[in-house]
Structure 1
């Protein structure tokens, strides 16, 4: 009798372990069942930074259109100062609408400053990993910026929700950067400037697992500030080298300003 019980118990344990293993495999298989094709260029969503000024991205948008891309401008709620989780959910709605309109299998996202954080939130929390092909962030403080932390302390009445979330120790930043910073699905590209006084420390703009590039790698004498990034020749050259049909790469033949 005791032998039968031990045999039964062993069988149950084996089946339980097998179920866990199979379950794990099923989750992985489901996640990778339809990987995002990297050679099919779809539409591009452009997400502005804090303040929501789409005009600041006019040259980026022009470069994308000149490259033959279908460009969708994603106007943020509350001028980009509201909860970034809500902004990420809105980005998801625009993405789904865009895919229905274009019948494309995937799309790219270009996010400037806070817009890059919103894009990452969408990928990690709102299903963007299944439909985003490339995510290019321009001067985005992926691990928070000291500027927001100071504003929260020195001028709390002028630091709304998004400003608070951009502080390095915010709950949003901790949650966003827990685990894999570049989850499977899209390929990530970051570009920043070592002279950007708004995104500090400068390493905050980089992501583990991404193609990380600074303006100064190609133009050593550049003094590009945060508001100048979207017109910088290195950033504009990335439109084709990072968002083309081939693997993301550093641009070549850049004429430094």
Structure 2
């Protein structure tokens, strides 16, 4: 059939066939990574690389204290840069996290990852676990000041501005995305779950929005009653940094010893 085409058209057709073949191979490779990881429960005694997922707006520098502390413990760390400016569809951000996890597992040879989601990044992590294969790829999930049940700040901002970017709309209390995410089991089987929140958080309000049924839910003030850690201070808070060892270790997640820095 190709013989009937001109040389130029023949080259074009062959180029398209090669491109399609490369795409198919890439999709098959991703499927293999996910199917291998789905062979059984993730072993809890084999900590793998750690993925750090930033909050609304995707400012990865906010995660520097976490990355430094984890690397000091000998953990391999990947900071996940969100697609676009980090204010778009949270479900699309979860799909991107799935791609990053596939790549980290493939290149590291590890059997699982641990994931820390800060602020809206914690919602992204839950979407990944629930809807994008993360339940078979992650061993531990730790979320920090995440508006798991929405935040009145997003509602106020949307009201004052007459609307806000898609991720902001999805973080409104009782948004369609959060209703779906919180229907049934808030902490699906697969990873072990933990959350940390601060009573002084003025971004995620009410602060109890950050807690999850079925998780180890920690309040900074339970361990340091005088703490006034704001939302932006959570990634560097002494309680959070201490929890990296007690939550992402080999033993079941527990609260760290009381610490105020």
TM over 0.5: yes
What is the match of residue 139 of structure 2? 133
Distance 2:162 2:242 in 1: 38
Runs of 4+ in 1 over 3 A off after TM superposition: none
Distance 2:77 2:209 in 1: 28
> Is 1:83 the counterpart of 2:79 in the alignment?
no
Checking the alignment, whether the CA contact within 8 Å between 2:239 and 2:258 is kept in structure 1 is no
Question: How does 1:71-150 map onto structure 2 within 5 Å?
Answer: 71-150=77-156
**For 1:77, what is the secondary structure of its paired residue?**
coil
Distance 1:69 1:155 in 2: 42
What is the match of residue 248 of structure 1? 253
Checking the alignment, whether the CA contact within 8 Å between 2:199 and 2:207 is kept in structure 1 is yes
Size of the alignment, in residue pairs? 225
**For 2:58, what is the secondary structure of its paired residue?**
coil
Instruction: State the Cα RMSD in Å.
Output: 1.3
What is the match of residue 10 of structure 1? none
Q: Deviations over 1:42-73 (max 9, x none)?
A: 00110000111111111110001011111011
> Is 1:67 the counterpart of 2:62 in the alignment?
no
TM-score (norm: length of structure 2): 0.84
Distance 2:109 2:162 in 1: 45
Question: How does 1:166-245 map onto structure 2 within 5 Å?
Answer: 166-245=171-250
Distance 1:86 1:193 in 2: 28
> 5+ residue gaps in structure 2?
1-37
What is the match of residue 58 of structure 2? 52
TM-score (norm: length of structure 1): 0.85
Structure 1 residue 156: Cα displacement: 3.0
Structure 1 residue 207: Cα displacement: 0.2
Q: Deviations over 1:198-256 (max 9, x none)?
A: 111111000000000010000001111100111110001111110001111111152x1
**For 1:97, what is the secondary structure of its paired residue?**
helix
Distance 1:80 1:141 in 2: 15
Structure 1 residue 33: Cα displacement: 6.0
